[in-house]
Amino acid sequence: MNESEIPIDIHTLKLQDWLISRRIVPKNVQQETREIHKKISSALQDMPSNEQLIKLLARTNINYYHVKEIIEILKKTEKDTKSVFGTYGSQRMKDWQEISRLYEKNATYLAETAQIFVRNVNYEIPGVRKQMAKLEQQADESQKRAHDLNKPETQLLAEHSALLEQLGVKGDNLHAEFVQVLAGLPDLYAKSLADIAKIQPGIDLYAEVSGNKQALPILNHLVEFGNTTVYQYIHKEAPLAVEEPPIRLNLSEGIASKDDNAVAEIDFGTDDNGGTSSTVSGEIIDYGDLAENDGGNIDWGIESAPTDAVEINFDIPVEEYGIVVEGTGMDGGTAKGDQAYTLLDSPNYRDRFLDEIYELESFLRMRIYELKQLESSSDIMFSLMDNIATHDGESIRKILASVEKIIQQTADEQTRHLFQLKHSPKYANLLATKLQQMTKAVEKLRATREALKTRTIELREQRQELNPVLEELIAQTRTLQSHIEKDISKRYKNRVVNLMGGVN
């Protein structure tokens, strides 16, 4: 094989060292390159107005091959200054010809071309590609985040709609709508107690087992008379008139401005008081005029005895003491304050009702458990207990089902919301604040999603703008590679030169 047929393979990373080791370029070529660049900067200050030149000079880096193109263009623009000896009188032409000679001295142009080629291959092109990949990744992440915001938005809208549905309002005018839905609270109480007569056998069984005929007094009253006023429960007669305390809804104009954390205090769970919401507490509920009345109107079941033995004269007319005796039976008095509420509507008596209904439920569950044990045990204790009542497991389960239905309907979300709304002036503000914060959260999510969508479009546009930059870099690098391979080939009898690891 002839020497001219043996290719010269040079790795891109070792190209500059290869040129120095073959003494094609000097070691101190960097200093000569800096001097040439100074002359190029000075020559660029005085250039003719030419479209080709303007396009050529728009490039940031002017190398030896650009200088050759500039000289060819100046040969046309400065041809009037050419002498008969072939020299140019134009200083522009002289400056660029001088720059060309400095480049060709010691093959400085080849060293600079190799430097630009290596820099493009190792840094410029990978840097642009990395930036494009990063922009693409950021665009995908923004698009994904925008899509992920649909889930919390849907959830918030569902919670908002569910709360409005539970309250029975639309949310347009909360104050007026709250007042309107509160008028339907008695119907909810009536609905929950529609089947209360079915639990009478359970109440009788509880009284029989406990040996207390006066057990579960509120449940007994509700079964016999229905959801009457507290006044009727205490005095055993219906009032002539009912003056229920007015409903006060404290809805501030700037709902969220007073207490942005108010919603955090709302607890729709259950507590140890028989399932009532923990927000119905003495700290939140305003009982109106109840606190101002003395305890004489409420029968606490406590009989106090006189401390001293005092002889009572029953012959003294009660009129002398200023006492007015109201009529009896249907001629009762006026129910005011807490006594004007119905048993299920009174904060105090509602808790007592729930205590009793849960107590009855627990008793029935225990009784079913005992009957199950009886089937598999001959223990005398269970046998004695079984003789107390004649109810079997199936009948008790039917009673228990009725009790559970009453509990479910009495303690459902809508009833609890409206109950707290009626008896706690602060609760209306809490609900309104929660609804407002849900609406604001949805608006914020939508604004964020739109911003992310806009950001995604911008990132993709930036990614597209880098395409021509990358293409130009690749084209420039391939041109430089071709120049280098041809130049080295000429120096080695036109042998084939391959720059390994170049641009793909």
One domain for residues 101 and 201: no
DSSP string, 423-462: H-HHHHHHHHHHHHHHHHHHHHHHHHHHHHHHHHHHHHHH
318-324 contacts, C-beta under 8 A, 24 or more apart: none
- The residue length of the chain stands at 504
Report the pLDDT value the prediction gives residue 377, as an integer from 0 to 100: 60
Identify the domain boundary among 413, 439, 465: 439
Average confidence (pLDDT) over 400-419: 88
Sequence letter at residue 487? D
pLDDT band of 425, cuts 50, 70, 90:
confident
- Report the percentage of the chain scoring pLDDT > 70: 78
Position 144 scores a pLDDT of: 95
Residue 501 in tokens: 């690891």
Contact 245, 289 (CB under 8 A): yes
Residue 369 lies in a domain: yes
Picking from 439, 472, 492, the residue at the C-terminal end of a domain is: 439
DSSP state of 388: T
- Note whether residue 161 is domain-resident: no
In a domain, 158, yes or no: no
According to the per-residue pLDDT averaged within each range, which of 182-186, 240-244, 426-430, 437-441 is highest? 437-441
Residue 277 and residue 269 in contact, taking contact as beta carbons nearer than 8 Å: yes
Mean pLDDT (whole number) for 439-455: 93
Model confidence at 376, pLDDT cuts 50, 70, 90, reads: low
Alpha-carbon distance of 149 to 56, in angstroms, equals 49
Residue 298 belongs to a domain: yes
CA distance 284 to 270: 16
**pLDDT (tens digit per residue) in 100-120:** 999 999 899 999 999 999 999
pLDDT band at 456 (very low <50, low <70, confident <90, very high): very high
Q: pLDDT digit string (tens) for 139-185? A: 999 999 999 999 999 999 998 888 888 887 887 777 777 878 888 88
Residue 157 lies in a domain: no
**Co-location of 18 and 106 in the same domain:** yes
Same domain, 475 and 401: no
With 0-12 / 13-18 / 19 or more C-beta atoms within 10 angstroms meaning exposed / middle / buried, residue 263 is middle
Highest mean pLDDT among 168-182, 220-234, 263-277: 220-234
- Three-state SS string over 279-304 comes to CCCCCCCCCHHHHHCCHHHCCCCCCC
Average pLDDT of the residues in 349-365: 91
Neighbouring residues of 221: CB distance < 8 A, sequence distance ≥ 6: 228, 233, 343
- Same domain membership, residue 347 and residue 246: yes
Half-sphere exposure of 215 (CA within 13 A, CB side): 18
pLDDT confidence of residue 85: 60
Q: Is 241 helix (H, G, I), strand (E, B) or coil?
A: strand
Element counts in the chain: helices (H) and strands (E) = 19, 4
Residues 466 and 435 in one domain: no
Asked whether residue 159 is domain-assigned, the answer is: no
Residue 436 is predicted with a pLDDT of: 87
pLDDT top residue among 366 and 53: 366
Q: What is the pLDDT of residue 53?
A: 77
Q: What CA–CA distance (Å, rounded) separates 228 from 238?
A: 8
pLDDT band at 48 (very low <50, low <70, confident <90, very high): confident
> Is 156 within the bounds of a domain?
no
Task: Please indicate, yes or no, whether residues 99 and 62 belong to a single structural domain of this protein.
Answer: yes
Residues 466 and 365 in one domain: no
Residue 444 has a pLDDT of 94
* pLDDT tens column, 311-354: 444 343 433 333 334 444 334 588 888 888 888 888 889 899 99
Q: How far is CA 119 from CA 18, 82, 123, 211, 380, in A?
A: 16, 39, 5, 100, 99
Q: Are residues 178 and 135 both part of a single domain? A: no
Helix, coil or strand: residue 504 = coil
Look at residue 458 in the predicted model and tell me its pLDDT.
95
Domain of 392 in residue numbering reads as 172-439
Burial 42-51 (b: 16+ CB within 10 A, else e): ebeeebeeee
State whether 260 and 230 are in the same domain.
yes
Task: Return all residues near 126 (Cβ < 8 A) that are at least 6 apart.
Answer: none
Considering the domain architecture, whether residues 330 and 430 belong to the same structural domain is answered as yes
Pairwise pLDDT comparison (238 vs 461), residue with the higher score: 461
State pTM to two decimals. Answer: 0.58
**Averaging pLDDT over each range in 233-237, 374-378, 428-432, which range is the top one?**
233-237
- Are 428 and 490 part of one and the same domain? no
CA distances from 224 to 110, 236, 295, 298, 475 (A): 111, 12, 26, 20, 98
Cross-strand pairs, 498: 9
Domains: count for the chain: 2
CA distance 140 to 450: 15
Whether residue 470 lies inside any domain: the answer is yes
Closest C-alpha to 417, from 174, 157, 158, 163: 163
Q: 364 and 484: one domain?
A: no
Q: Judging by beta carbons within 10 Å of its beta carbon (0-12, 13-18, 19+), is residue 21 exposed, middle or buried? A: exposed
